[in-house]
Amino acid sequence: MTAIKQQIRFCATDDGGHMAVATLGKGPPLLRAGHWLSHVELDARSSVWAHWLRELSCGHTYIRYDQRGCGLSGAAPASLSLEAWIGDLEAVANALGLRRFALFGTASRSPIQASNESDAGAAPDSPQPR
Asked, for residue 86, whether it belongs to a domain, the answer is: yes
Asked, for residue 2, whether it belongs to a domain, the answer is: no
Asked, for residue 20, whether it belongs to a domain, the answer is: yes
Q: Which residue range is the domain that position 39 belongs to? A: 7-129
- Give the separation between CA 114 and CA 14, rounded to whole angstroms: 22
Percent of the chain residues past pLDDT 90, beyond the cut? 54
35: CATH: 3.40.50.1820
121 φ/ψ angles, rounded to the nearest 5 degrees: -95, 15
Provide the whole-model pTM: 0.81
Q: What is the pLDDT of residues 73-127, one digit of tens each?
A: 988 877 878 888 888 999 999 999 999 999 988 766 555 655 655 454 444 455 6
Number of folded domains that form the chain: 1
